[in-house]
């Protein structure tokens, strides 16, 4: 019987294993050095905050793996020999594979700051990072202040976590406004304000110079590059993005760049070796997506796709229209299609924006100025129906069409106050149109 081995038990690896099992009876082994059982790393923050226990982050009960004949091996792979098809572990044992899937995910990005390996300096990615955080920041007595470096999605999550235990947080952001490389100014500014309302000491437009140590090799303070200010702290969170976790592969004959190089079928340069998830790097980007996508759902999709290919049904990875979501403290964010920030958008991309006069809610719709083609939407504090926007993007609808049918797309819970009328009214004024909002129609929502 063929032996399929998957390195990494994150969402990509586990999805691949489940779908291979659906399609074949081969022997499947998943290797992990992080935790025996698959868990959702996006939920680690909720464990620290006390919303969940670690057990709750495991989507499958422990019996699931045996029942589905998926072997779980705990261990850290240090090298891959593609000639003999063997994997070497740190404990000098090895196993053979017939087909190999690399799904090793990411690791926190570090920029070579002085002091970045001190005790109390951590990222927020692995289960072990959470354990570190529990150790160095169990409460505001042990951790009198934490400094977070890097203003992205993980940074703001870490800030929320620490605030849940009333630990003072200083948040260093390189940009002049939070995440404004991605978000339009209206939204970025709204988040700035929201961060301050949560008593987070937000410092915009600053860089970390160095992390200083006490006599025990633990963090004692950080220095800001621009001002030279020293901020005393017990924990430093490094959240300046992630990078593929592939160091152990570099010595093998598998082709790597920043990630493991793959083609559209997620095949590497070596036959029977595949790479999926955060660690895979497309030779050429798909549409406007990045070559490396460290996103939950792309990991899952790559897992599904590679399972088809590996089971003999060669299938290209086609992630479809871009979408994503996040939560900035209390503000939910969803995006469908492409909305680029002022910094990154092209000449012909226009915005239509609406913002709630009081509450933290706003939208940005991006459209093509020439032909009014709808390009994408960002929503803050309003939930939207994925299915409807996916269809509108495929059907290349105009921004006017979106406005007219906006009610079909709302996904807020029942009895929520709806803002479509106000949004369309603003659109009519700005675009000199006379669009009347159509009532929500189940027929349209369900039409193929």
Q: Would the CA dihedral through 64, 68, 70, 71 be positive or negative?
A: positive
CB nearer to other proteins: give 19 or 405. Answer: 19
Q: Taking CB under 8 A as the criterion, which residues in 25-44 touch other proteins?
A: 40, 42-43
In the complex, minimum distance from the CB of residue 251 to other proteins, in angstroms, rounded to a whole number: 33
In the complex, minimum distance from the CB of residue 414 to other proteins, in angstroms, rounded to a whole number: 5
Note whether 251 and 79 are within 8 A (CB): yes
In the complex, minimum distance from the CB of residue 192 to other proteins, in angstroms, rounded to a whole number: 15
Burial of 143 (0-12, 13-18, 19+ CB in 10 A): buried
In the complex, minimum distance from the CB of residue 162 to other proteins, in angstroms, rounded to a whole number: 12
444 forms part of the interface with other proteins (CB under 8 A): no
Q: Taking CB under 8 A as the criterion, which residues in 323-352 touch other proteins?
A: 323, 325-327, 329-330, 332, 334
235 C-beta neighbours (distance < 10 Å), count: 26
Which positions ≥6 away from 48 have C-beta within 8 Å? 130, 133, 134, 161, 164, 165
320 forms part of the interface with other proteins (CB under 8 A): yes
In the complex, minimum distance from the CB of residue 402 to other proteins, in angstroms, rounded to a whole number: 17
* Cα–Cα distance measured from residue 352 to residue 426, given in angstroms and rounded to the nearest whole number: 9
Q: Hey, which bits of 97-198 come out as E strands?
A: 99-102, 106-108, 121-122, 146-149, 169-173
401 forms part of the interface with other proteins (CB under 8 A): no
Which positions ≥6 away from 266 have C-beta within 8 Å? 274, 275, 276, 280, 302, 305, 306, 309, 317
List the beta bridge partners of residue 379.
334, 363
Q: Taking CB under 8 A as the criterion, which residues in 133-172 touch other proteins?
A: 164
Judged by CB under 8 A, which of 9, 106, 308, 364 binds other proteins? 308
CB nearer to other proteins: give 54 or 431. Answer: 54
In the complex, minimum distance from the CB of residue 296 to other proteins, in angstroms, rounded to a whole number: 5
Q: How many residues bind other proteins (CB under 8 A)?
A: 60
417 C-beta neighbours (distance < 10 Å), count: 9
Note whether 196 and 121 are within 8 A (CB): no
117 forms part of the interface with other proteins (CB under 8 A): no
Quote the Cα angle for 257-35-333, to 5°.
65
CB nearer to other proteins: give 273 or 360. Answer: 360
197 forms part of the interface with other proteins (CB under 8 A): yes
110 forms part of the interface with other proteins (CB under 8 A): no
Note whether 117 and 123 are within 8 A (CB): no
Q: Taking CB under 8 A as the criterion, which residues in 404-443 touch other proteins?
A: 411-417, 442
Residue 278: strand, helix, or coil: helix
387 forms part of the interface with other proteins (CB under 8 A): yes
92 C-beta neighbours (distance < 10 Å), count: 7
In the complex, minimum distance from the CB of residue 329 to other proteins, in angstroms, rounded to a whole number: 7
Judged by CB under 8 A, which of 301, 365, 399, 402 binds other proteins? 301
Judged by CB under 8 A, which of 109, 386, 397, 438 binds other proteins? 386
Burial of 152 (0-12, 13-18, 19+ CB in 10 A): buried
* Positions that interact with other proteins (CB under 8 A): 11, 19, 22-23, 40, 42-43, 46, 49-53, 56-59, 61, 164, 197-198, 296-297, 300-301, 304-305, 308, 313, 315-316, 318-323, 325-327, 329-330, 332, 334, 383-387, 390, 411-417, 442, 445-446
């Amino acid at each position: 019987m063929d032996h399929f081995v998957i390195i990494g038990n994150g969402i990509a690896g586990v999805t691949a294993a489940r779908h291979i099992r659906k399609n074949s009876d081969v022997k499947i082994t998943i290797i992990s050095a992080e935790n025996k059982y698959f868990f959702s790393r996006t939920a680690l923050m909720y464990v620290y905050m006390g919303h969940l226990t670690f057990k709750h982050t495991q989507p499958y009960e422990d019996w699931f793996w045996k029942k589905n004949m998926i072997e779980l091996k705990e261990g850290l792979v240090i090298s891959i020999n593609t000639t003999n098809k063997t994997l070497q572990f740190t404990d000098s044992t090895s196993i053979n594979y017939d087909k190999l899937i690399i799904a090793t995910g990411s690791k926190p990005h570090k920029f070579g700051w002085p002091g970045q390996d001190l005790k109390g300096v951590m990222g927020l990615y692995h289960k072990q990072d959470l354990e570190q955080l529990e150790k160095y920041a169990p409460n505001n007595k042990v951790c009198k202040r934490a400094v977070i470096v890097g203003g992205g999605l993980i940074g703001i999550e870490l800030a929320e976590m620490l605030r849940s235990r009333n630990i003072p947080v200083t948040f260093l952001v390189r940009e002049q406004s939070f995440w404004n490389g991605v978000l339009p100014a209206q939204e970025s500014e709204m988040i700035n304000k929201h961060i301050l309302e949560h008593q987070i000491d937000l410092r915009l437009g600053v860089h970390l110079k160095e992390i200083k140590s006490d006599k025990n090799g633990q963090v004692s303070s950080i220095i800001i590059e621009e001002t030279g200010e020293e901020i005393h702290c017990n924990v430093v969170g490094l959240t300046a993005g992630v990078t593929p976790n592939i160091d152990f592969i570099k010595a093998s004959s598998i082709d790597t760049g920043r990630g493991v190089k793959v083609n559209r079928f997620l095949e590497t340069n070596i036959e029977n070796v595949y790479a999926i998830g955060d660690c895979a790097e497309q030779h050429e980007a798909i549409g406007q997506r990045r070559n490396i996508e460290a996103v939950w759902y792309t990991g899952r999709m790559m897992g599904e796709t590679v399972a088809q290919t590996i089971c003999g049904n060669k299938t290209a990875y086609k992630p479809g229209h871009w979408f994503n979501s996040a939560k900035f403290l209390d503000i939910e964010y969803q995006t469908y299609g492409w909305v680029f920030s002022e910094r990154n958008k092209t000449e012909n991309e226009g915005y239509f924006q609406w913002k709630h006069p009081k509450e933290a809610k706003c939208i940005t719709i991006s459209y093509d100025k020439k032909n009014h083609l709808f390009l994408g939407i960002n929503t803050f504090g309003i939930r939207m129906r994925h299915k409807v926007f996916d269809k509108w993007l495929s059907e290349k609808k105009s921004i006017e069409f979106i406005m007219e049918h906006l009610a079909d797309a709302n996904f807020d819970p029942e009895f929520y106050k709806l803002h479509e009328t106000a949004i369309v009214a603003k659109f009519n004024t700005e675009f000199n149109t006379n669009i009347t909002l159509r009532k929500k129609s189940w027929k349209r929502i369900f039409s193929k």
